[in-house]
Each structure stands twice: as structure tokens, then as C-alpha cells.
Homo-oligomer: A and B are copies of this chain.
């Protein structure tokens, strides 16, 4: 094969050689980033701080990431992957699909309640908010955030809704993605904007309202 066969486009600034990347440093940086965000809040985390905590040169961070938001996002994704791997073997199905008991309302309520619990867990709350906030303001990061962290979860709802459509529990002519948003968006808004209390009761109410509609059934 031709020498210097770089599949990558000629990067502007001598792209680093990923093969030589230090796995040790990468892990240390993720851990440092996550722990610092938990301790001090995203705004007070600095790249210098991450480097110091990780025992790593600043350049090693700048070499592989372009901003602290990127670092944290990847750290978070990595965290998810590790959790998934741990859950892995025996309970692989847990993350693969929502339960399908035949009762859409119950199934969705169950999972949404779980999501609400997670959002309220201080361990996730702070760094998750930080990323969400950054994503609001930084389109590129926002899209990665949605694609990598949000979308996989949302797709499970979409799949469950499609299943319900096939079962005749949800109208077949509806766009399942938009249907999903009717369930999920109200929770997201209350969480993001603290515009109201976020509880299991609220979750159930939203699901009921969305399923049965706001208008009276009889005309």
C-alpha cells in the first residue's frame, strides 16, 4: 500500500497520532473532569485544573479536545458506556428497549419515573445541566450532546410508541417522534428551567393528558 496513506484529510495542524495516545492519560482526564464538575460546578472547572488533577500536561488536553465542554461531554459518554458495559451481559436488555407489557401508559410512566429520579439525583444533575446549558449556546456541542446522550434514550420511546401503534393503542397515523415529545418535553422543561416541580405524579399526569387529549371525547 502506498506510503503516507492517510485516510484522514490533511488536517490543518498535523493531526496527532491516535495510535500513540496514552490511554492512561485519557482515563485520568475523564475522571478528573467528572470529579471536578461534581465538586465545584461546571463554571469553576478549568482546563488547568483538570490537567493538574489528572497529573497531565495541559497540552495533552489541548491535543485531543478543543474545549472543556468537549472533554466533559466525552467523559460523560464514556461514563455511560462503562455503566452499560457493567450492566452488560446479564441485563443487556435493560438499555436496549423499554418494557412492553402491552399497556403503553404503564410502560411509559414506569420509565419516565425512572428518568425523573435520575434527573433529580445530584450525582447526575450538575454535570448534566452543565452540558445541556452549554449545548443551548454552542450549536456544535449541543448536537453532539443530543446525538450521543439524548437520542439513544429517546429512540427507545419512539420504538415503544411504534409498537403501541401496531397494537392499536396509539393512533397509527401519528408521527411517533412527535408523540414521544409530548411525553418527554414537559419533563425536560421543568427540569431545565425549574419552571415547576418535577415528580412522579406530574409524570403520570402528563402521560394521561397526552394519551387521552385535552379536548372532551364526545362532541
Closest Cβ neighbor of A142 among chain B residues = B194
Instruction: Type the 1/0 row for A161-192, where 1 means its CB is closer than 8 Å to any CB of B.
Output: 10000001111001101110110111011101
Contacts of A142 in B (CB 8 A): 193-194
Contacts of A215 in B (CB 8 A): 169-171, 211-213
Closest Cβ neighbor of A193 among chain B residues = B146
Known: A209-B179, A214-B174, A215-B212. A42 touches B137 (CB 8 A): yes
In the complex, besides A146-B193, A181-B206, A188-B189, 15 extra interface pairs with C-beta distance below 8 angstroms are: A132-B136, A136-B136, A146-B195, A168-B216, A171-B215, A171-B216, A174-B214, A178-B202, A178-B209, A181-B186, A181-B189, A185-B188, A209-B210, A212-B213, A213-B215
Could you write out 6 A-B pairs with CB less than 8 Å apart?
A129-B137, A146-B193, A150-B195, A171-B216, A181-B186, A210-B210
